[in-house]
């Protein structure tokens, strides 16, 4: 637009970019800054202080993320294949019901999920938490996979069936490679959501040794009554953010694709 003259555009854009990047750069700086210069002391305290995080918290986080990504991929792939390629009774109702999850956010049903998981013997359990996270990922994932399957040319599938493949081996051998971009996007979203999730684990996990890293790092802040170890906290922030930033750097295309299709129509 003309009101942003060339210089105006450069100055405004540059200033805004600095404002947006500054907090990220600062947290990296603060996490490395020590009394005597720079070093990894803050990271050391992050992992060794009384309130700090432990290796099992990191393992818990990876477990929950792996279960959520794996579960979401399996359910959404089978579901996407069903909705994209088959007609069956209740098809439209189930699809609408799944999308309705978007309308009923988190906080309102987590209390009930807490009670429900107790009945199922999954209270304070990483599996229970993962099942809930998979459910919350379903609207986006199912939508994405249905569109991916619909976009695969029908001839591809038919030629496989002529060769004697049943529907499942067609799915495995022919369809899965064709919907790979969709799978990557769905997996990426499921990872980012489960790795960073705070509210669901806060409610569903009780014992500190079940905590995910996010919970454990936040616990360093909320469990401290006097002084907060800010430098170790920033080390925790960086530790949590690095996997996500790396994924972003390499998979931005997949992220934006998910966005463009999900945001416009979801």
Partner 1 sequence: MSMTMQRPAPPAQGPAPRRAPTNRRTRTRSLIGAAYAAPTAVMVGLFFVTPLLLVVWMSLHKWPLLGQPTFNLPDNYAGIGDNQLVGSAVWFTLKYTVIMTVLLFSLALGLALLVQNRRRGVGFLRTAFFLPMAVGFASASLLFLGLLSDEVGPVSDALRAVGLVDGYVSWTSGSANSALGSTVVLVLWRFAGFNMLIMLTGLQAIPLEVYEAARIDGASRWQTFRRITLPLLRPTIALVLTLMITGSILAFDQFWILTRGGPDNSTTSLVMVIYREAFIRLDLGSAAALSVALLAVLVIVNVVQLGVLRRRSH
* Choices 49-57, 62-70, 147-155, 172-180 (CB under 8 A): range interacting with partner 1: 147-155
**Separation of alpha carbons 116 and 216, rounded Å:** 25
Site mask for partner 1 (CB under 8 A), range 96-135, x = bound? -xx-xx-xxxxxxx-xxxxxx--------------xx-xx
Stretch that binds partner 1, among 50-58, 62-70, 145-153, 172-180 (CB under 8 A): 145-153
Long-range (24+ apart) CB contacts under 8 A made by 22-26 are 24/241
- Contact residues for 41 (Cβ-Cβ < 8 A; gap 6+): 34
**Cβ 197 to partner 1 shortest distance, Å:** 8
One of 47, 85, 123, 125 touching partner 1 (CB under 8 A): 85
**How far apart are the C-alpha atoms of 121 and 128, rounded to whole Å?**
9
Question: How crowded is the C-beta side of 28, counted as CA atoms within 13 Å?
Answer: 7
Q: Which of residues 16-45 bind partner 1 (CB under 8 A)?
A: 16-17, 19-21, 23-24, 26-27, 30, 33
Say if residues 219 and 105 touch (Cβ distance below 8 Å): no
Q: Which of 2, 7, 50, 226 binds partner 1 (CB under 8 A)?
A: 2
Least gap, CB of 196 to partner 1 (angstroms): 3
Question: Which of 104, 98, 103, 101 has the alpha carbon at shortest distance from 82?
Answer: 98
Please report, in angstroms and rounded to a whole number, the separation of the first and last CA atoms in the chain: 30
Regarding 241 and contact with partner 1 (CB under 8 A), the answer is yes
In the complex, what is the shortest distance from the CB of residue 41 to partner 1, in angstroms, rounded to a whole number?
A: 14
Quick one: which of 127, 203, 208, 224 contacts partner 1 (CB under 8 A)? 203
In the complex, the smallest distance separating the C-beta of residue 46 from partner 1, rounded to whole angstroms, is: 12
Interaction of residue 175 with partner 1, rule CB under 8 A? no
3-state secondary structure of 190: helix
Which of 74, 156, 176, 223 touches partner 1 (CB under 8 A)?
74
Q: What are phi and psi of 167, to 5 degrees?
A: -65, -35
Per CB under 8 A, does 51 bind partner 1? no
């Amino acid at each position: 637009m003309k009101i942003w003259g060339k210089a105006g555009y450069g100055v405004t854009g540059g200033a805004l970019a600095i404002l947006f990047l500054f907090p990220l750069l600062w947290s990296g700086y603060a996490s490395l800054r020590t009394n005597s210069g720079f070093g990894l002391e803050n990271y050391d305290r992050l992992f060794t202080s009384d309130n700090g995080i432990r290796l099992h918290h990191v393992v818990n986080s990876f477990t929950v993320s792996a279960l959520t990504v794996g579960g979401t991929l399996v359910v959404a792939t089978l579901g996407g294949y069903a909705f994209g390629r088959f007609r069956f009774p209740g098809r439209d109702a189930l699809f609408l019901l799944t999308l309705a999850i978007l309308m009923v956010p988190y906080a309102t049903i987590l209390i009930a999920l807490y009670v429900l998981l107790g009945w199922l013997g999954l209270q304070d359990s990483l599996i229970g938490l993962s099942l809930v996270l998979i459910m919350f990922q379903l609207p986006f994932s199912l939508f994405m996979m249905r569109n991916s399957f619909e976009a695969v040319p029908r001839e591809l599938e038919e030629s496989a069936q002529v060769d004697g493949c049943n529907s499942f081996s067609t799915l495995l051998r022919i369809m899965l490679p064709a919907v790979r971009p969709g799978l990557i996007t769905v997996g990426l979203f499921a990872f980012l959501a489960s790795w960073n999730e705070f509210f669901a684990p806060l409610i569903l996990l009780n014992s500190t040794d079940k905590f995910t890293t996010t919970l454990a790092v936040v616990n360093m802040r909320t469990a401290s009554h006097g002084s907060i170890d800010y430098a170790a906290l920033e080390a925790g922030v960086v530790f949590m953010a690095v996997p996500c930033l790396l994924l972003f750097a390499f998979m931005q295309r997949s992220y934006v694709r998910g966005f463009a299709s999900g945001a416009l129509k979801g």
